[in-house]
Homo-oligomer: A and B are copies of this chain.
Amino acid sequence: MKTLSENACFGGTQGVYSHASTSCACDMTFAVFLPEEAKDGPVPVLWYLSGLTCTHENAMTKAGAQAWAAEHGIALIFPDTSPRGDDVADDEAYDLGKGAGFYVDATQDPWAPNFQMWTYITDELPALIGENFAIDMDRQGITGHSMGGHGALTMAMGLPGRFKSVSAFAPISNPTAADWGRKQLAAYLGDDETKWAAHDATLMMAEKGFDGPILIDTGTNDQFIDLLKPEALAAAIATKRQQATVRLQPGYDHSYFFVSTFMEDHVAFHADALYAE
């Protein structure tokens, strides 16, 4: 693991690191915020998964999460959204290939050799972080924006017991039924739609739900709301009697101005769950 930068930030440290990823077969970059409390011992952690076209950097610089993570003594992890490098397959579209890993393990060519983002985020990166940072991997929460909200919800439901709490900002909520989803799931996982179900938050909610609290915010003026399908997940949550808060925020769009506005609530929500025991 290589340190690319470390900056003092809200009493703690915002660092950026790279390492040779075995699952993605390329160098990967990620960012970690450690609050001041991490100097005294392991702290709880909140994962933030980013959306289409993003890297580790967008949320790190624009979401304003460090202010609230510092207040609650929580670490933040900002992974990249796809494998990177000249040898990695890509597509001309912004929503497939680099910057658009969709948090799945690709089985199809040309994606399979590198696009193993599910394994990377849920297995390889947690192991690396557990070894190198003062983070208590028994107290993890997960959140994300758009494609990253999809990743957060599917990982939280797909790995029971791993995360104490899950939240999302404008998540892609029903990708098997939307253009943000069908195209990518077909490309990465193939045409057999039964293999897609493990990566659709609405279908997973109907089938299994989540053993903990959920918080979801979506703006009523979100320019992509027809692709996100919050109504499908909201209905599934209500049908399942799942512990959850689903909010439609009047006037907000899909931007980081929306994300940063509600970040305080989301970090406080996770802090409640992470400090509950």
Give the B-binding residues of A (Cβ under 8 A): 7-11, 14, 61-62, 64, 66-67, 219, 221, 249-253, 255-258, 260-261, 264
Which residues of the other chain, B, contact A255 by a CB distance below 8 angstroms?
7
The contact sample of 5 A-B pairs, CB cut-off 8 A, is: A8-B251, A8-B257, A10-B260, A10-B261, A67-B261
Cβ of A39 to closest chain B Cβ, rounded Å: 12
Contact of A66 among B7, B221, B260 (CB under 8 A): B260
Instruction: Given A61-B61, A257-B14, check contact A67 B8 (CB 8 Å).
Output: no
Which residues of the other chain, B, contact A260 by a CB distance below 8 angstroms?
9-10, 64, 66-67
Compute how far the CA of A221 lies from the CA of B61 in the bound complex, rounded to whole angstroms. Answer: 20
Inter-chain contact A253/B67, CB cutoff 8 Å: no
Contact of A8 among B9, B64, B253 (CB under 8 A): B253
Compute how far the CA of A67 lies from the CA of B65 in the bound complex, rounded to whole angstroms. Answer: 11
Which residues of the other chain, B, contact A66 by a CB distance below 8 angstroms?
257, 260-261
Cβ of A169 to closest chain B Cβ, rounded Å: 13
